[in-house]
Amino acid sequence: MKKRIYLDNNATTPLDPRVLEAMMPYLTDKFGNAASRDHSFGWEALEAVDRAREQVAALLGAEPREIIFTSGATEGNNTVIKGLAEMYADRGRHIITQPTEHKAVIDPCRYLDKHDYRITMLGVDKYGRIDLNELRDTITDGTILVSIMHGNNEIGTLQPIAEIGKICKEKGVFFHTDVCQTFGKVPIDVQEMGIDLLTLSAHKIHGPKGVGAMYVRRKNPRVRPKPLLHGGGHERGLRSGTLNVPGIVGLGMAAELCGRDMATESKRLTGLRDRLRDGIMSGLDMIFLNGHPTERTPSNLNLAFAYVEAEALMMGFKEIAASSGSACTSASLQPSYVLRALGVDDMLAHGSIRFSLGRFNTADEIDHVIERVIAVVKEKREISPLYEMAQKGIDPRKVEWKVH
């Protein structure tokens, strides 16, 4: 196979060699348990964890002790949603979220829905943004939590987090945001944005897999979710379990590297992203952008290729790794629920591909991708009956189909 090109950085990213270097001693010589208070092996581990806590907090405008390390964002989201629901059940049993959240938010909410909580899914517009007035009107006396992600993993759309935080503060409800796709890429400040709880993961920012963090506000207001894992009382009792010291060190280093040149890297990624979009669109007709045209994460480009199916395209440019939440990979043949929530036409949803960029992508790679994508789309359109129809002026959406 030709040289592979990785454009699936919203799924996971390669470890930065500098992160690995920072982690290495904690996988070998400095293997101590951060909870061992009686000897230097423990002390050096604890010291490393504390440094990582500062590195993560610095990127969020938070205090280090408000950072709780987890195994990743799925654990974080579960802890926040289920832990808060349990802790504040006497205050109310209503939670507000949106249909385009990651499954790690939607499924805990569904779980609560089956246990006598009420979940409201806000509507989203064609770009995937919520309506702030609808949010304001939906909050009731029984609402305990609003959970709205910062940047969407599939379509890249950014939500107006600061405005949401303000509304939640006015109404006195907790505000949680999943920042997996924006942490280290887009400025976040928990004070300015009125965020009470936040969840993130290391492997999206060139850190290791299996480690993440939660921000849990300590004052104005103090938030206290019940823990998911009970045990030794680590992490202020919010997350028991021996700390993953090398992972945490990796997360800290990955965060610091992102913070160091966020502005220039964000500009570089946005440039590559737009180069890819413009390059593909200038070579093909009937290509549509999914998600918001400007309010989107620097790394995400999601395009709909009319008349062709996403998996066939990706099999066509095998050396390029991208993602299709919409491919008929399951027997259910359901296209992406995120695109569906945006009201994207079914044919376009089936033909949508997410290209997501990262630190190690280059302009040369992008130019190669443009060339290959254009060639493969043309090829697959030649064998598509829908394209043939369109050429004859027939709109595939208006045909009566014989479903098999």
Binding region for another protein (CB under 8 A): 307-309, 311-312, 315, 326-331, 333, 335, 346-347, 350, 382-388, 396-397, 401-404
Nearer to another protein, 282 or 329 (CB): 329
Nearer to another protein, 15 or 389 (CB): 389
What's the start-to-end Cα distance of the chain, in Å?
36
**H or E segment to which residue 216 belongs:** strand 212-216
Give SS3 for 344. coil
Nearer to another protein, 197 or 347 (CB): 347
Closest approach, Cβ 103 to another protein, in A, equals: 19
Closest approach, Cβ 390 to another protein, in A, equals: 11
Closest approach, Cβ 153 to another protein, in A, equals: 21
Nearer to another protein, 219 or 404 (CB): 404
User: Would you call 328 a catalytic residue per the annotation?
Assistant: yes
CA distance 24 to 45: 13
CA distance 313 to 348: 13
Give SS3 for 100. coil
What is the DSSP annotation of 157-179?
A: BBP-HHHHHHHHHHHT-EEEEE-
CA distance 26 to 364: 36
Nearer to another protein, 234 or 381 (CB): 381
Residues 109, 180, 258, 328: which is the catalytic one? 328
Closest approach, Cβ 350 to another protein, in A, equals: 4
Q: Which amino acid is at 111?
A: Y
- Indicate the DSSP class of residue 191: T
Radius of gyration of the chain (CA): 22
Closest approach, Cβ 288 to another protein, in A, equals: 15
The bridge status of strand 143-147 relative to strand 174-178 is parallel
Closest approach, Cβ 344 to another protein, in A, equals: 12
Contact between residue 347 and residue 331 where contact means Cβ atoms under 8 Å apart? no
Closest CA relative to residue 152, chosen from 119, 106, 189, 110: 106
The bridge status of strand 212-216 relative to strand 67-70 is antiparallel
Give SS3 for 237. helix
| Residue appearing with tokens 């899914």 | 121
Q: Report how far Cα 70 is from the mean position of its chain's Cα atoms.
A: 16
Nearer to another protein, 60 or 348 (CB): 348
**Active-site annotation, residues:** 328
